[in-house]
Amino acid sequence: MLIVVVLLVAVVGSVAYLVWRQTVPGVQSLTTPPRFIGQKTTFTAVVEARRGNVARVEVRIEQSGKSTPVAAKESGLGRRVELPVVVDSSALGLREGSATIEVWGRDTFWRPIRRDDRAIAGYPVTVDLTPPKVELLSATRYLSPGGSGLVAFRVSGAARTDVLAGATTFPSFAFGPADKGARIALIALPWNYDPATPIQIRATDEAGNTATRGIPAEIRPRKFPKDTIDVKDAFLQAKVPELLPQRSPTESLVEGFLVINRDLRRQAEETKRKIGATTADKPLWQGPFVQARNTKVFANFAETRTYVHGGKEIDRQIHFGYDLASTRQSPVPASNKGVVVFAEPLTIYGNTVVIDHGLGLQTLYAHLSSTAVKVGDAVEKGQEIARTGSTGLAIGDHLHYEVLVNGISVTPLEWWDVKWIRDHVGKPLKEAALPEISGAEARDEPEEPARAAASRAARRRR
């Protein structure tokens, strides 16, 4: 009887074990599929074996009853596998309409009866092969390195639209009546902009289809000044310990200065780009920007500075913005209406305030001795926001002032000039039949006397 019981338990246990083996779930798909398939779409298929490892994974596209392999992997696989997938719709013969992404998978877990390969997941998608439509409405005609302008356009069928000047991307914003579907973007050309670099609108839809439209503009050359700065030991002894407290005891003051002037300067430029992304989707400024009263420009925009120590050149950097000199700790006014988006120390710039004026346009005030505003404060044109100083990598009390478009420094001189603003911002808006920005309204050019007389005579003849 005991033998029978043992045999029965062995048989039942074996059968139960085999049944468990057979019923263990197979590979599962953890893929996050795209909603749309465009002309060329990429995504990652993710599968995971519940037991053992993944033996094979494959992705197929099924449309109109036809299942086409797209990507597969079946060697050197672990328990979790990520498979990059590139769907080339033209090569696969896909057409617009519905389709299904199928994920196939098999594991290495032994089962009494081997399962055939089968789809473990199916994801419905829409094949969309039509790119967005882009219509250029107007744009600033004349641009210069270190300058800025405005582009107005209309786009349909896009999820994202930007304007590119080479590798630099500028966001666009909906502007004007909603039914017009217009967008505008402020653009900036870096000081070292290559005139051969294209400027274009890029629109991308949810399927990844992209349409571009070139922006015609005449690039007028601009020369920038040069200067030589004699770096004194007294300056190094004062500034290097302040700005680089973690400096190694074996590192010389000159070596510390180079870390500050190169690495910390680069960090500041990266921070300015990040700050530039924090901007209002409408213009906050009104009219021309104002220069602080009773100040004199003593260092220019995009000035190439050669740093000399002990009669030997040790570094060369570009100075962005203007240095404005006045009396010690003089009031610093906001150059236009806006909202404070940054108010703290910024490496070489010392105590810094950045004001956002909307559409990516911002102004920066640096080397401040004290600040009177905080992030989130709304400021008016001419309102005192700080006092000048010599914090950061500054020689003497002064204000370092910059105008930035999406974090790219441009010459402040343009934005101080009401005529420049009317011609380069107001005029494109007027040509595009879009609402003009207060204080930047375009002005019609006066007719020449002969043309005016001919025009009046023609009207009389009619």
CATH 3.40.50.920 applies to domain 226-406: no
Quote the CA–CA distance of 197 and 60 in Å, as a whole number: 40
Full-model pTM: 0.83
Contact 349, 364 (CB under 8 A): yes
Longest dimension (CA), the chain: 128
pLDDT beneath 70: ranges in the chain: 115-116, 444-462
AA letter at 440: A
Quote the CA–CA distance of 75 and 72 in Å, as a whole number: 10
Quote the pLDDT of residue 448.
43
Q: Is the dihedral of CA 166, 130, 62, 92 positive or negative?
A: negative
Contact 215, 139 (CB under 8 A): yes
Quote the CA–CA distance of 91 and 177 in Å, as a whole number: 41
What superfamily in CATH does domain 133-219 come from? Immunoglobulins (2.60.40.10)
Taking the domains of the chain in order of start, what are their residue ranges? 26-127, 133-219, 226-406
Contact 152, 60 (CB under 8 A): no
CA distances from 18 to 12, 15, 25 (A): 10, 5, 14
Quote the pLDDT of residue 145.
96
**Is 226-406 in the same CATH topology as 26-127?**
no
Residue with tokens 């299904």: 100
Quote the CA–CA distance of 368 and 404 in Å, as a whole number: 18
Q: Which residues pair with 150 in a beta bridge?
A: 186
Listed in sequence order, the DSSP H helices in 157-276 are 233-243, 253-258, 265-276
Tell me the fold of 26-127. Immunoglobulin-like (2.60.40)
Contact 290, 380 (CB under 8 A): no
Quote the CA–CA distance of 80 and 71 in Å, as a whole number: 16
Tokens encoding 215? 């922006």
Quote the pLDDT of residue 17.
77
Contact 3, 10 (CB under 8 A): no
Residue with tokens 């002032």: 401
Quote the pLDDT of residue 461.
37
Quote the pLDDT of residue 444.
63
Quote the CA–CA distance of 340 and 442 in Å, as a whole number: 28
Quote the pLDDT of residue 451.
44
CA distances from 70 to 64, 85, 98, 104, 115 (A): 16, 7, 17, 11, 22
Quote the CA–CA distance of 185 and 260 in Å, as a whole number: 34
Quote the CA–CA distance of 216 and 153 in Å, as a whole number: 13
Tokens encoding 396? 């003497």
Q: Is the dihedral of CA 255, 256, 258, 262 positive or negative?
A: positive
Quote the pLDDT of residue 247.
87
Q: Which residues pair with 156 in a beta bridge?
A: 133
Cβ-based neighbours of 159, under 8 Å, separated by 6 or more:
204, 205, 206
